[in-house]
Amino acid sequence: MHLTFLVGSVHGNATALAQTLQLSAADLGTTIDLLPMDGLDIAVFDRPGAFVICTSTTGTGDVPDNAQALYHALDAQARYLGHVRYGVIALGDSSYGDSFCGGGKRFDERLQDLGARRVGDICFLDASSTMEPDDEALAWLTHWVTQVPADL
């Protein structure tokens, strides 16, 4: 199976995490492409395989600046994405209260609006309480890949 990680990051935490997970691709029986979200549009979802939205949150529950173009393209270029299977790794900090992991949640809501189907639960990584985010994310990904339809 092939995975495309779409990475939204302000200060590099989400990018570093995605790079760490990419190192485990062979062990998981996958290949992983990492794409920073900068400048992407909805056409990225025409790629084969499944997708992982790996994004932090900035402002008050906002998507990172480098994710704005793709996030807004999901409105401006809205079309049915029923073929898309995706997972979400959402980085945030629960000290921000109601806006916790808003970046990942926003992508999740918008993709579901367009008919895309999320596989599994969102992986929430809380900077205030997650001691080993790499380990938690790898455990999540290891289980997640088993839930993705094999024919993708």
Ligand X SMILES: Cc1cc2nc3c(=O)[nH]c(=O)nc-3n(C[C@H](O)[C@H](O)[C@H](O)COP(=O)(O)O)c2cc1C
| Residues contributing to the site for ligand X (CB under 6 A) | 9-14, 56-61, 64, 91-93, 96, 99-102, 127
| Residue position matching structure tokens 């949150």 | 57
- Residue number, 37 or 84, with CB nearest to ligand X: 37
Beta strands in 1-150 (DSSP E): 2-8, 31-36, 50-55, 85-92, 117-118, 123-126
- 40 to 29, 37, 45, 52, 137: CA distances (angstroms): 27, 6, 10, 14, 24
How near is the Cβ of 40 to ligand X at its closest, in Å? 16
d(C-alpha 79, C-alpha 118), whole Å: 17
DSSP secondary structure of 117-137: EE-S--EEEETTT-S-HHHHH
Query: Which lies closer to ligand X via its Cβ, residue 12 or residue 82?
Result: 12
* Minimum distance, C-beta of residue 108 to ligand X, in the bound complex (Å): 14
Shortest Cβ 71–ligand X spacing (Å)? 15
Structure tokens at 9: 């990051």
Nearer to ligand X, 85 or 106 (CB): 106
Nearer to ligand X, 13 or 24 (CB): 13
Minimum Å gap between C-beta 95 and ligand X is 8
Shortest reach from residue 102's CB to ligand X, in Å: 5
Q: Which among 19, 17, 45, 41 has a CA at the least distance from the CA of 32?
A: 19
Residue of 111, 72, 89 lying closest to 9 (CA atoms): 89
Q: Which CB sits closer to ligand X, 96 or 140? A: 96
